[in-house]
Amino acid sequence: MSEFIDLYDQNRKLLNREVDRTTYLFQPGEFMMYVLAILENSQGEFLVTQRAFNKKWAAGNWEMPGGGAKSKESSLDAIKREVKEETGLDVKNGGVVYSYFNEDNDRHDNYFVDIYHFKFDFDLSDVQLNTCESINCKCVTLDELISMNQEQSFLHYERIMKALQQEK
């Protein structure tokens, strides 16, 4: 199934080229955009999700909601869509708290990631998982998140921690 994305340069400037994410091999200096959401409830807990076992990459691992931006989609629009698709939650107030690049020309794996932090009142009972994306979810404290990473690698853990530290 085709999934079209926009290409960006190393300065995050649109290259005005749309490609199929599933088949395109990124060339040096070409990037796609990913987004991640740190969703924090009023008790200071973070929503984490477990990836479905049929996922091609990191099946079964725990992570924060997020994914790739579609063609013609801004970073903010992408994170709102991804959070809604994966959790059923609507996010409004929040912004990018950390961004990073990855350029791996050997594997053609070039991307940048915007990490958003949304603080709002939600309960686990408000979450409606998209089981094609995630098979489980829970709300965890920061200490529990650290423990989860020690037990099994938590996806994007170091970058999430940098995002949270940068906000202080």
Domain boundaries, the chain: 4-167
* Beta strand spans in 25-164 (E): 32-40, 46-51, 62-63, 66-68, 94-102, 111-119, 134-140
Amino acid letter, 124: L
Neighbouring-strand partners of residue 47 = 139
CATH class for the domain made up of 4-167: alpha beta
Predicted confidence band at 91 (pLDDT cuts at 50, 70, 90)? very high
- The predicted-structure confidence for 65-88, as pLDDT tens digits, reads as follows 999 999 999 999 999 999 999 999
Asked if residue 34 lies in contact with residue 96, where contact means CB atoms within 8 angstroms, the answer is no
Q: How far apart are CA 31 and CA 101, in angstroms?
A: 9
Is a pLDDT exceeding 70 seen at residue 168?
Answer: no
Looking at residue 93, what is its pLDDT?
Answer: 76
- Give the pLDDT score at 153: 84
Average pLDDT in the chain: 94
Token pair listed for 168: 């202080």
Contact between 56 and 39 (Cβ < 8 Å): no
